[in-house]
Amino acid sequence: MKIYVDADACPVKEIIIQVAIPKNILVYLVKSYAHFSTHPDPEGVISIYVDSEREAVDYRILSMLRAGDLVITQDYGLASLALEKKAFALHHKGLIYTADNIDYLLEVRYQHAQARKKKIRTKGPKRLTQEDKDKFKATLIGILTNFQ
């Protein structure tokens, strides 16, 4: 198993690294050049930079992703495509994307986009809490433990 992180706006990168490295699981932080850093990655972490095109990170992750790998993203579209490749997909708040919930999530995303086109105001995502981080960490540990 490898972990691919949609890293441009991922607020739990440190947790992912903290959990994955002791288990000898490679972590790929895929991000745009707009988020370039000269800070060296810890051992077991590889930063991959792509152009700042709208879907460049998603395409790069999908090109490397294999069945049984894990994608961490808040992008429902990327999660859906990962599931099609028989990979695991996890939201940074601890939600495991599944065949049972992805269609609903995509539909809600579509409805919100349609509302925004009509200038109807929709609520943005709620702020990440410590409870969310704890849930994410527990879920990630569960996935990695069950996979090994």
CA pair distance 46, 85, nearest whole angstrom: 22
Which tens digits make up the pLDDT trace of 95-114?
999 999 887 777 786 676 77
Cβ–Cβ < 8 Å for 28, 3: yes
Enumerate the β-bridge partners of residue 96: 90
Which tens digits make up the pLDDT trace of 43-82?
999 999 999 888 899 999 999 999 999 999 999 999 999 9
CATH 3.30.420 fits 3-147, yes or no: no
The secondary structure of residue 125, as a DSSP letter, is P
- 71 φ, ψ to 5°? -110, 135
Enumerate the β-bridge partners of residue 108: none
Q: Give residue limits of the domains in the chain.
A: 3-147
pLDDT of residue 34: 78
Please compute the mean of the pLDDT values over residues 28-52 and round it to a whole number: 91
- 51 φ, ψ to 5°? -60, 165
Among 27-31, 45-49, 77-81, 119-123, whose mean pLDDT is lowest? 119-123
Predicted model pTM: 0.88
pLDDT of residue 110: 66
Give the CB-side neighbour count of residue 50, counting CA atoms within 13 A: 18
The DSSP bridge pattern shows strands 45-50 and 96-97 to be: unpaired
